[in-house]
Amino acid sequence: MDAQVLLNISNLHAGYGKIRALKGINLQVRQGEIVALLGSNGAGKSTTLKAISGLLLPEEGSIEWEGASIRGLAPHRIAERGVIHVPEGRRIFSGLTVLENLELGAFTIRKEKRLVKEGIEQAFALFPRLKERAKQLAGTLSGGEQQMLAISRGLMARPRLLMLDEPSMGLAPIVVQEIMAIIAEINRQGVTILLIEQNAKAALRLAHRGYVMETGRIIMEDEADVLYRDEKIVKAYLGA
């Protein structure tokens, strides 16, 4: 069941000034998958996502999306191709309303008013609490609600790949469960997902495959349930 490879990264090197954050990453994401990217702090997970979404210019290696290189494109060009990055720390527009945040999420499809309207309805169906707070400033939402908004905003563009950076960060366990369930639901609706998580166990329960990173390299990749059962790995690298 080899589905089509959507994202193909090979030998990716990137860094910040003199710091080498990525030292030759190879990673594939196939159509319909949830892929978990795991590892401790500073392993290079967020840097990998930044390189894919164009926030960071790689020094070496290739990033192919649907067979074409997207390396070196501006972030908005990559978003236009359906690769949407929900960054660490949610980064919602706190001074705009919930509804305005969602509308901006649909910026790439702004001319198709019907799709924008549908997207907003779907977001409200997925997270009824956002509907109640549609006219409120996003900065007044609770942490969990802000994360829901960040995910919904990412979905508004109808992405074919949704990259989520630590969606459970700073949230109460019950809210984490809710968010994880929603991510699974989004995937069932056909969105391919690349997920970064500190909470490795939760991520592996959800994912089809996983990569484990350490100091800028991928040190392991396998089916999610294989990684999940490997107590040694979980203890040594994932801190769970």
Smallest gap from Cβ 92 to another protein, in A, equals 8
121 Cβ contact partners less than 8 Å away, ≥ 6 residues apart: none
Comparison of 53 and 168: residue with beta carbon closer to another protein: 53
Smallest gap from Cβ 229 to another protein, in A, equals 35
Smallest gap from Cβ 223 to another protein, in A, equals 30
Token readout for 198 is 């500190």
Which own/partner contact pairs does 62-71 have at CB distance under 8 Å and 24+ positions apart?
62/8, 62/9, 62/10, 62/11, 62/12, 63/7, 63/8, 63/9, 63/12, 64/7, 64/8, 64/9, 65/6, 65/7, 65/161, 66/6
Smallest gap from Cβ 176 to another protein, in A, equals 22
Smallest gap from Cβ 66 to another protein, in A, equals 17
Smallest gap from Cβ 3 to another protein, in A, equals 26
d(C-alpha 215, C-alpha 111), whole Å: 43
The residues with which 210 forms a beta bridge, in sequence order, are 36, 222
The residues with which 60 forms a beta bridge, in sequence order, are 13
HSE, CB side, 13 Å, CA atoms: give it for residue 81. Answer: 19
Comparison of 108 and 136: residue with beta carbon closer to another protein: 108
Residues that bind another protein (CB under 8 A): 53-55, 74-76, 79-80, 84-87, 91-96, 100, 103-105, 107-108, 110, 137, 139, 153, 157
Comparison of 85 and 209: residue with beta carbon closer to another protein: 85
d(C-alpha 88, C-alpha 150), whole Å: 10
Comparison of 115 and 219: residue with beta carbon closer to another protein: 115
Comparison of 80 and 118: residue with beta carbon closer to another protein: 80
Comparison of 97 and 215: residue with beta carbon closer to another protein: 97
d(C-alpha 17, C-alpha 168), whole Å: 29
